[in-house]
């Protein structure tokens, strides 16, 4: 997910709209990132092409202090992309565009 901007909204609560498959709650996650143009003068080798720097957003939670990517439940009234965007916004406070979808 390419990070665009941040703002605030209320999070969904409860699990009555959660999707389940054979008793397991279905979850979605996201790997938020942004690319930044690198200054050509900062290249180590002269004549090399500057490569954009990628920054990845990791979060922690009140329950778990480890760093992780945003994730959460997929609800019956939303698509995978909508769920990933919502969870990323609720947990990390950022808005972006879902670029690639991987199903496991």
CA-to-CA distance for 59 and 79, rounded, in angstroms? Answer: 23
Locate the domains of the chain by residue range.
Answer: 2-41+48-97
pTM beyond 0.75, yes or no: no
Q: pLDDT in tens for each of the 104 residues of the chain? A: 665 655 555 556 667 789 999 999 999 999 999 888 776 666 666 556 666 788 999 999 888 889 999 999 999 999 999 999 999 999 999 999 988 888 77
CA angle, residues 23, 28, 34, in degrees to nearest 5: 170
Q: Tell the burial category of 29 from Cβ atoms under 10 Å away from its Cβ (0-12, 13-18, 19+).
A: middle
């Amino acid at each position: 997910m390419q990070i665009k901007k941040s703002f605030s909204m209320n999070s969904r609560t409860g699990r009555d709209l959660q999707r389940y498959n054979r008793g397991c709650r279905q979850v979605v996650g996201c790997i938020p990132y942004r690319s930044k143009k690198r200054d050509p003068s900062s290249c180590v080798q002269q004549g090399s092409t500057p490569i954009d720097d990628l920054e990845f957003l990791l979060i922690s939670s009140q329950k778990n202090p480890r760093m992780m990517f945003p994730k959460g439940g997929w609800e019956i009234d939303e698509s995978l992309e909508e769920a990933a965007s919502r969870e990323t916004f609720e947990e990390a406070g950022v808005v972006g565009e879902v670029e690639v979808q991987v199903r496991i």
